[in-house]
Amino acid sequence: MEKRPYENIIVENEDGITWVTLNRPEKRNAMSPALHYEMDDALANLAVDSKTEVLVITGAGEAFSAGQDLKLYFRDTANNPAERRRSNEAAHSWFWERLTTFPKPTIAMVNGYCFGGGLTPVCACDFAIAAEDAVFGLSEINWGILPGGYVSWNVANVMSFRDAMHYAVTGETFDGRKAEELRFVTFSVPKDQLRQATVAYARKLMEKNPAAVRFTKEAIRTVRGLPAQQAVDYLRAKGEALKYFDPEGGREEGMRQFLDEKSYRPGLGPYHRKKP
Ligand code: ACO
C-alpha cells in the first residue's frame, strides 16, 4: 500500500503482516472522528493490498482503545448532525463492515485498556490475542448510557448470555486471562510475549492456502445465522466457488500429495503449498 499521510494511526508491513496501530497514546487511543476516517481509508486500501497476508490491529502505548472519544466524537459533534453522522458511518464502516468482510485473516492484538466502543473491533476481528493484564470493560453503564452501536449485539453473541448481562449491567472490568476464560479472546499471554505470540499465530495462518482461509472464515461467520439445511446448501455452493477461485488449486494438490505422492498427512500439518 502506498504511504498515506495519517496522523492518528500507523500502518506498517513486515514480512506479510500488516500492523495497524491506533496512535493516540496520550488519549489512550480513544477514537475520534479523524481516527475513524483514517481507519476507514486504511482498511479500504489494505483489503486490496497484495503485501498484506494477515492484518493485525493494536494500540500504541498502554491502551488498545479507551472507546469512543467522549469529547471529540460525542460532545463536539452534539450540535453538528452532519459531522456526527459522517463520523458514525466511518466508525461503523471500519470497525464492523470492513473488518468482518476483510479478505485476509484479521487479529486484534489487545495490549491494554479496551473499553466501550473499543470492544467492537476486537469482536469483528477473526482472532483476538490479549495481554494477560489487558483490562476490558463495558463502561457505558457508568456513563449512564447503554452499549450502543454494535457493542451489545457483539457481546451478546460472543459471550454467554449470563456473562454478557453481568458485564454490561455491572460495568465490572475483566482482564485478558478472564477474557480467554470467557472465550471473548482466542487466547492470552504475558504482555512481554504478546507481539511474539501474535507473529507466531499470523505465520501459522500464512502457511495455509489463502483462498481456503478466506472462504472458511466467511463460511464460519455466515452459517451461524442460518438454519442447518440452508447452511448445507450455502456451503455446497461456497465449496464449488472455492474450487474456481483458488489459484493454488489446493484441493487437487492436497489429493495428489496424499494419494499419489504419499508425502503428507492432513492431520499432521498442511500440504506443501505451491504459491502461484
Ligand atoms: N474519550 C476521551 N478522552 C479520553 C478517553 C475517552 N474515551 N479515555 C481517556 N481519555 C483521555 C483522558 O481524558 C486523559 O486526557 P487528559 O490527559 O487531557 O486529561 C487522557 O486520555 C489519559 O487518560 P487517563 O484517564 O489520565 O489515563 P489512565 O491511564 O489513568 O486511565 C483509562 C486509562 C482507565 C482508560 C481511563 O482513561 C478511562 O476510564 N477512560 C474512559 C474509558 C471509557 O469508559 N470508555 C468508553 C467510552 S463510551 C463508548 O465508547 C461508547
**Nearest residue by C-alpha to atom 23 in ligand 1:** 27
Q: How confident is the model at residue 176 (pLDDT cuts 50, 70, 90)?
A: very high
Q: Which residues contact 209 (CB under 8 A, 6 or more apart)?
A: 246, 248, 250, 270, 273
Q: Are residues 151 and 20 in the same domain?
A: yes
CB atoms within 10 A of CB 216: 16
pLDDT digits over 32-42, tens only? 999 999 999 99
Q: How many domains does the chain have?
A: 2
Amino acid at 24: R
What pLDDT is attached to residue 47? 98
Do 162 and 225 sit in the same domain of this protein? Answer: no
Whether 122 maps to a domain, the answer reads yes
Asked whether residue 262 carries a pLDDT value surpassing 80, the answer given is yes
Give yes or no: residues 59 and 152 share one domain: yes
- Alpha carbons within 13 A on the beta-carbon side of 55: 31
Nearest ligand 1 atom to the CA of 140 is 48
**Is residue 257 located within the same domain as residue 135?**
no
Do 104 and 228 lie in a common domain? Answer: no
Same domain? 161 vs 24:
yes
Mean pLDDT of the chain: 96
Pocket test for ligand 1, best of 8, 27, 28, 96 (most atoms within 8 A of CB): 28
Check: CB of residue 29 under 8 Å from CB of residue 22: yes
Does residue 4 form part of some domain? no
Q: For residue 175, how far is its CA from the centre of ligand 1 (angstroms)? A: 17
Which cell is 8 given?
A: 492518528
**114 plus 189 within the same structural domain:** yes
CB 135 within 8 A of CB 113: yes
User: Dihedral of CA 255/261/262/266: which sign?
Assistant: negative
User: Please, which residues bridge with residue 110 across strands?
Assistant: 130
Q: Do 215 and 117 share a structural domain?
A: no
65 CA → ligand 1 middle, Å: 9
State whether 100 and 236 are in the same domain: no
What residue owns the CA closest to ligand 1's atom 40? 66
Residue 191 in any domain: the answer is: yes
CATH number for position 98: 3.90.226.10
In a domain, 276, yes or no: no
Q: What share of the chain is helix, strand, coil (3-state, %, to 5)?
A: 55, 15, 30
What is the CB < 6 Å shell around ligand 1? 27-28, 30, 62-63, 66-71, 113, 115-117, 139-140, 143
Same domain, 221 and 151: no
- Cα 66 to ligand 1 centroid, rounded to whole Å: 6
The domain boundary residue, chosen from 165, 188, 206: 206
User: What is the full DSSP assignment across 202-243?
Assistant: HHHHHTS-HHHHHHHHHHHHHHTTS-HHHHHHHHHHHHHHHH
CA of 28 to the centre of ligand 1 (A): 6
Nearest CA to ligand 1 atom 8: 66
Query: Cα separations (Å) of 99 from 82, 103, 106, 158?
Result: 24, 9, 7, 16
Residues 216, 188, single domain; the answer is no
The answer to whether 67 and 117 are in contact (CB under 8 A) is: yes
Q: Range of 124's domain?
A: 9-206
Residue whose CA lies nearest to ligand 1 atom number 31 = 28
Distance of CA 237 from the midpoint of ligand 1 (Å) = 47
Mean pLDDT of 155-168: 97
Residues 198 and 215 reside in one and the same domain:
no
Per-residue pLDDT, 269: 82
Ligand 1: nearest atom to the Cα of 151: 51
pLDDT above 90 for 270: no
Locate the ligand 1 atom nearest the alpha carbon of residue 118 and give its number.
Answer: 50
Longest CA span, the chain: 69
Query: Is the residue at 274 inside a domain?
Result: no
DSSP letters of 39-85?
A: HHHHHHHHTT-TT-SEEEEEESTTEEE-SB-IIIIIGGGTT-HHHHH
Per-residue pLDDT tens over the stretch 96-142? 999 999 999 999 999 999 999 999 999 999 999 999 999 999 999 99
